[in-house]
Structure 1
């Protein structure tokens, strides 16, 4: 956020973190619980402090005392590169914990101030982009309503359900009167119907076997939100480089064959025109990439929080969960992945946006009739399935007749807000995209004859761009 004002109170943040560790050393577990129960990492403006608070939470979740050594064992380095143990030792030099609750209130007030400024900038940007005023105001009003959580102050975390009823009714009234913020679409009509659009504060897992198209689907969704939906998207790619992702986006938006883009000397004028149009769309879009290898959750959080402060954020994609770095030294693979999964779920709630988390599947599905995957096939940890609000499995069997014709099944095997089911999409691998499938579902007789899509794979006419 470019402003002469320092949008935080670093001394108060240092005082709170130091007080937590000092209270733990003195055996005052009640005070530690009171402080941690009132705050979350999103309250901290400085990314090092947010990461340190998360490391403190990791210690408490493992019933470990909180001090510079234990916190440093959870996360060796802070996002700035500073040694966690050394910085934690510095914070423990505060004289007492007497004024810590005052510091807590100061931090939370600054958090509210940042949110209010961010909402104002979001409203200004929406109007500048030509969004109808009623929609822009609706989105701003919804964001202001979300500030209630930040303004609880020292109140207990529990509340009567009757307090929530007016919020629910107001939301329903906004929808009825077309004042609600626009829903985020995936760009694929049948997938939107299947999952009920992308919801804020949700963790959506997109999983598949290698080569199934999970990255292609995730990238296409984020591109649609940023290009067609005029939102802000951030892609954390721990597998593909930023140039490869950009080439794929150009191919998808412009309908350019990826193989032709590698042979630029033979491209025709019409293809160059398509590339120019796609590049222009990307130039106008709020679409951001980070392909730094081995990023930890704290580094991803810092990047996302910074972008959200400066430009806003509507959707985040992480490709893929198994490559996210961890700071713990003694964790086995399952524990490490489970920790990352929990952190991703918490990050979706903290940022208030849908987080697309890509994940690998094990080989269990390949031995089943039809080779259809299940959410239980998620590799490394069952925690992923537990944390996810929705699990979308990309099923493409290139050895089947349907697979040969590009037909891909998207299976919703878990959905908190939608019943399980599936839909078909048409894979256009040469353009690095999926398009809406317009063929009919196979009959049971055709499935039994192993010829479910003979001569009937096609797509809708709206496939040129998504």
Structure 2
């Protein structure tokens, strides 16, 4: 071992050792094992990456070896030499002959995983030390703009990233890794029935248009009051939670193979009211009857049975009012860490508070939407945020909403990956009922109402990775339930999925 470390002056090595925990010897032994037996790489690749090596030259050697092995090419001192011949760092260690010395001092392949785990653990310790120093220096600096509460949330965020990914900052990644991730997503969609890349909403036509709910996406679901925004959100949450199945994912980790764990921020309604809505849908008992306790024995039995069936559903509700965006993010991280989290729903965006008061409402909403998008990317989950629409919709002849109707439109429209509008023409037509004396108008109105009854539209106004357009759904008002609308040509082949 001494000949390998002799290149660096002993005093320098000692100085570095005093600063950060590391083991140059463990890195050398592991690299030597990989260069003499490429099968070792498969055993350790799930534990460590180039970023976990303390010596940047070792990180470079590992990365080049990993690329060659993943392309089914040999990684040995001879094949790696052309890639590292002009490497300044390697020249300090003795040039390409250093690779031969690494291979010559290789350990047994059986010990490789232990060394890999040791290197990983030391890398995490270095990250923790760096994070601790950062927290300490920020806390020591008394600044008006840096509140202790914000510092706690920020520290928790960095610790979460460290726990989940093993590194506080991911930084730049190679295009090769990005392409590999994209291929894996496409392969998952290809293998899955129905060709969905994301989590299924349980609504067939919506899944076809969106391809499911994609990870790291921010989806805005907007509409005027009484259009059914919350109902649609609870329907989607219930559909995802009730189909949840846990299993082994393609990358070897455990997670949701179907459905998912849902987090629901209900800033407007209480958890009990939201649960009553979901029970109304599941038990097919009108929600107003549940509120009044006005149920027949059969309905009450259905209600209790539905409640028992839903007990095991991984649906978590937080009904704390006026949550700041920083707290919302912290609680979502905690939920993912403790119970898992596959989809997050926020009802609704305008009720979330910014972390700090801004000079204008537009800036506040901008901070909230950017915060929600950051949560989606950080936790690698789809985030559905409900949003109110401005009153200008009511002044138009055609009441169908459009992007310009979003309140504080700029930031919401800009930050969202998907913007959807819930629209029920039946609601507006109902308010146009003519007087009983005008028989012709009444007959026409009744015909139009018949045509519109039980139908709803979800208009996709923006979608970053797919088409815009309209999705037709069924709507049962008494159960606050959206479903798959049976088209005329499907009448003979089965009914509504619900």
1:431 matched to 2:479:
yes
1:415 matched to 2:463:
yes
Query: 2:278 aligns to what SS in structure 1?
Result: helix
Aligned pair count? 338
Decide whether the 8 Å contact of 1:79 with 1:299 is kept in 2: no
Q: What's the offset of the Cα at 1:224?
A: 1.0
CA spacing shift, 1:186–1:412, aligned 2, 3 Å: same
Aligned twin of 2:271: 242
2: distance between equivalents of 1:269 and 1:463? 26
Query: 1:369 aligns to what SS in structure 2?
Result: coil
Q: What's the offset of the Cα at 1:375?
A: 1.6
1: distance between equivalents of 2:145 and 2:376? 26
1:192 matched to 2:202:
no
1: distance between equivalents of 2:228 and 2:322? 22
Aligned twin of 1:98: none
1:164 to 166, 171, 178: 178
1:257 to 276, 286, 306: 286
CA spacing shift, 1:170–1:11, aligned 2, 3 Å: closer
1:68 matched to 2:143:
yes
Decide whether the 8 Å contact of 1:195 with 1:412 is kept in 2: no
**1:250-297 deviations in Å (ceiling 9; x for gaps):** 001111111221332x42222122112210222011111111111111
CA spacing shift, 1:461–1:273, aligned 2, 3 Å: farther
1:201 to 216, 220, 223: 216
2: distance between equivalents of 1:290 and 1:182? 28
Q: What's the offset of the Cα at 1:169?
A: 3.2
Gaps of 5+ in 1: 1-6, 26-66, 92-103, 116-146, 442-456
1:223 matched to 2:238:
yes
1:461 matched to 2:495:
yes
Residues 370-409 of structure 1 aligned to structure 2 (within 5 Å): 370-397=398-425, 398-400=427-429, 401=448, 405-409=453-457
Aligned twin of 2:313: 285
1:233 matched to 2:247:
no
2: distance between equivalents of 1:178 and 1:463? 20
Residues 88-237 of structure 1 aligned to structure 2 (within 5 Å): 111-112=161-162, 114-115=163-164, 147=165, 157-176=171-190, 183-230=198-245, 231-237=260-266
Q: What's the offset of the Cα at 1:370?
A: 2.2
CA spacing shift, 1:461–1:440, aligned 2, 3 Å: closer
Q: What's the offset of the Cα at 1:300?
A: 0.9
Aligned twin of 2:131: 13
CA spacing shift, 1:275–1:389, aligned 2, 3 Å: same
Q: What's the offset of the Cα at 1:206?
A: 0.3
Query: 2:394 aligns to what SS in structure 1?
Result: helix
**1:182-224 deviations in Å (ceiling 9; x for gaps):** 8411111111112111001110100000111111111111111
With CA pairs under 8 Å and 6+ residues apart, which has the higher RCO, 1 or 2? 1
CA spacing shift, 1:435–1:15, aligned 2, 3 Å: same
Aligned twin of 1:122: none
CA spacing shift, 1:286–1:421, aligned 2, 3 Å: same
1:323 matched to 2:351:
yes
Taking structure 1 as the reference length, what is the TM-score of the superposition? 0.65
2: distance between equivalents of 1:413 and 1:334? 21
RMSD: 3.5
CA spacing shift, 1:367–1:460, aligned 2, 3 Å: farther
2: distance between equivalents of 1:21 and 1:426? 55
Decide whether the 8 Å contact of 2:358 with 2:364 is kept in 1: no
Query: 2:320 aligns to what SS in structure 1?
Result: coil
Q: What's the offset of the Cα at 1:462?
A: 3.5
CA spacing shift, 1:321–1:174, aligned 2, 3 Å: closer
Decide whether the 8 Å contact of 2:196 with 2:207 is kept in 1: no
1: distance between equivalents of 2:298 and 2:198? 35
Residues 343-382 of structure 1 aligned to structure 2 (within 5 Å): 343-382=371-410
Aligned twin of 2:340: 312
CA spacing shift, 1:434–1:175, aligned 2, 3 Å: closer
Q: Which has the larger radius of gyration?
A: 2
Q: What's the offset of the Cα at 1:232?
A: 0.9
Residues 21-100 of structure 1 aligned to structure 2 (within 5 Å): 68-72=143-147, 77-78=149-150
* Greater than 6 Å deviation, 4+ residue runs: 7-11, 179-182
Q: What's the offset of the Cα at 1:171?
A: 4.1
2: distance between equivalents of 1:163 and 1:182? 19
1: distance between equivalents of 2:232 and 2:274? 12
CA spacing shift, 1:275–1:79, aligned 2, 3 Å: farther
